[in-house]
Structure 1
Amino acid sequence: MCGRFTLAASPEDIARLFDLASIESFPPRYNIAPTQPILLVLGGREARPETAVDGRHAMLARWGLIPSWLRDTRGFPLLFNARSETVATKNAFRAALRHRRCLVPASGFYEWCKEGRKSRPYLVKPVSGRPFAFAGLMETAHGADGGEVDTATILTTAASADLAAIHERMPLVVEEGDYERWLDCRTFEPREVGDLLSPRRAGFFEAVEIDDRVNKAAYTAPDLQAPSRPAGEASSPGARRPGTVARAPSAQGSLFDD
């Protein structure tokens, strides 16, 4: 299973988008992988009762959720995503969906389209070029030694019609107008945000075929996002001629498939 996403927006742009009073400086990141720290936006004190923060704030967490009730992580799977269709019924995610919903800022994500024995990587990014947010959940895990670690997962949903040729799943994107409802766990219960657990509308993203250097998590230079085909040449997933696509086999592994 492969997967990556990117956050290349400036701290100032993120602060404006999410209405943050302040945010620590961070560098652009072009190849974020599971187990690495990711930026989260939380709604306030209800997400972290022990803090004195009431408004929206940003924090870092390990990408790969560990339920707060788990004491021994040996043999436990890396929960870096959660299916939106079943998240309310899964024991690992149920409490976080009720009490600790978050947003994960991003500039785009990577997906691989299986064609024969090869997989072609794509950068999927908003047509607008603006940053956006995945729907996320966070938990503070407690170790056997008494230590704590903040962890998070990204929710997934069925792919929108224009991305289904690459893969049948995609990350769940929260509309800017729905940020407050998703983050306000005190006012809105899971059943009251259920309508947000659906695919992003077609036309929001564009997919660009890129070089397979993205396969290596250690490669983090911005040039990995450069198109692998000359400008104007069709790079649609499965393209044989402009406007034709072939659906990827459902067995293809993905960051956004559990």
Structure 2
Amino acid sequence: MCVNYRPPLPEQLDMVLGTLVDLYRDWDWPTETWKDYTAPIVRAGEHGERTLQLASYGMVPRRHIPAGVKPFDTMNARAESLGEKRSFAPAWRRAQLCAVPMTCFYEPCYESGRAERFGIGMQDDSVFFVAGLWREWPEADGTVGASFTQITINADDHPLMRRFHKPDDEKRALVVLPPGDVDAWLHCRDPELARSFLRAYPAEAMKAWAAPKTPVVKAQPEQQSLW
């Protein structure tokens, strides 16, 4: 599963939205996204346009986990159980679909015998979109916040994604949306039809590279690196 990725920079938003924009130039977010960090997602606007929103990574933010309940992770939603898991099923049934823009995501590779961080992205280094779900939360200050998760599928047979995670673990991959499918995904309102989008992305259009983690000043609290 993916727990860390690199979102686009603010100056790349024209590419993300498909039109020239100035509205979001003063928005900001960390250069790498981890659980409970704020990052941009794309939703369908009222008139068919792509609309940008800042949301918290993880469908159930830590601040909304009830006291006494052991913290749990909801950054990834398994495609096989979307309609069953309490954290994801309501948003899935309501077709609250979003696209998560990024320039790469990170996974551990054990081919050397130990965990090494690798970056995975497109062969042409372009911004791409991952299928996701979103929901809203009432916040303590009276505002309404948003959160999101990314959808994953089995990757045991994927030529590239099967290289990652521990040798005996099931291989998983984010659902990368082909550029021509992004808007159709955002506007889909039938959960069963939405399942047709949950398929593997061609390995030949992707690439992976060693990406050792460098020290980063924490932009937001409560983040612990896994590797």
Fold-level match, TM-score > 0.5? Answer: yes
Percent identity over paired residues = 23
Which among 60, 78, 87 is matched to residue 82 of structure 2? 87
Asked if the contact 1:41/1:105 (under 8 Å) is kept, the reply is yes
Which among 91, 96, 99 is matched to residue 91 of structure 2? 96
1:1-258 paired onto structure 2 within 5 Å: 3-11=3-11, 13-20=12-19, 22=21, 23-25=23-25, 26=27, 29-45=30-46, 55-66=49-60, 73-74=66-67, 75=69, 76-97=71-92, 98-114=94-110, 118-142=114-138, 148-159=144-155, 160-167=158-165, 168-185=171-188, 188-213=189-214, 218=217
**CA distance, structure 1, for counterparts of residue 58 and residue 13 of structure 2:** 22
Count matched residues.
208
TM-score (norm 2): 0.77
TM-score (norm 1): 0.69
Deviation at 1:18, TM superposition (A): 3.0
Asked if the contact 2:101/2:130 (under 8 Å) is kept, the reply is yes
Code of the residue aligned with 2:105 in structure 1: it is F
Deviation at 1:144, TM superposition (A): 7.1
How much is the aligned-residue C-alpha RMSD, in angstroms?
3.1
**CA distance, structure 1, for counterparts of residue 48 and residue 20 of structure 2:** 11
Deviation at 1:27, TM superposition (A): 5.8
**CA distance, structure 1, for counterparts of residue 34 and residue 173 of structure 2:** 16
**Offset from partner CA, 1:13-35 (integer Å, 9 cap, x none):** 43234335634025685422111
Deviation at 1:81, TM superposition (A): 1.0
Cα 1:139–1:217 shift into 2, 3 Å: farther
Q: Which sections of structure 2, spanning at least 5 residues, go unmatched?
A: 166-170, 220-225
SS at structure 2 position matched to 1:82: strand
Larger % of helix: which? 2
Asked if the contact 1:20/1:57 (under 8 Å) is kept, the reply is no
**Offset from partner CA, 1:7-66 (integer Å, 9 cap, x none):** 24553x432343356340256854221110010100024xxxxxxx86321010011112
**CA distance, structure 1, for counterparts of residue 20 and residue 190 of structure 2:** 26
Partner residue of 1:250?
A: none
Asked if the contact 1:66/1:141 (under 8 Å) is kept, the reply is no
Cα 1:8–1:66 shift into 2, 3 Å: closer
Asked if the contact 1:33/1:217 (under 8 Å) is kept, the reply is no
Asked if the contact 2:103/2:121 (under 8 Å) is kept, the reply is yes
Asked if the contact 1:8/1:29 (under 8 Å) is kept, the reply is no
Code of the residue aligned with 2:36 in structure 1: it is T
